[in-house]
Amino acid sequence: MPHANVTVGMEPSMLADIEDERERHGMSRAEYIRHCIRQAQDSPFEVPETILCADENRRPEESETGAA
């Protein structure tokens, strides 16, 4: 399937976090960002089978809140 390139601006610290996470999951930067978009709670796209972010009980819907 052909791809279209999209430019997104972000703070350097966010890019560093993306680089750390994509490397940890063995993904390219684009692959990781696409996965995050699909995994978003209100995403209109098909949800991927693999969940990269979950709370300590492995519930993805509660991963938005941090530790106290």
Question: How does pLDDT run across 14-50, given as a tens digit for each residue?
Answer: 999 999 999 999 999 999 998 988 888 888 888 777 7
Position 46 scores a pLDDT of: 80
Whether 21 is in a domain gets the answer yes
Position 40 scores a pLDDT of: 81
Position 17 scores a pLDDT of: 94
Whether 58 is in a domain gets the answer no
Whether 64 is in a domain gets the answer no
Could you give the number of structural domains in the chain? 1
Select from 46, 64, 42 the least CA-distant residue to 54.
64
Whether 11 is in a domain gets the answer yes
Domain extent at residue 25:
7-46
The Cα 29–Cα 21 span in angstroms is: 9
Position 50 scores a pLDDT of: 73
Whether 24 is in a domain gets the answer yes
Whether 22 is in a domain gets the answer yes
Range 29-35 contact pairs with CB under 8 angstroms and sequence separation of 24 or more: 33/8
Model pTM? 0.64
Higher model confidence: residue 18 or residue 60? 18
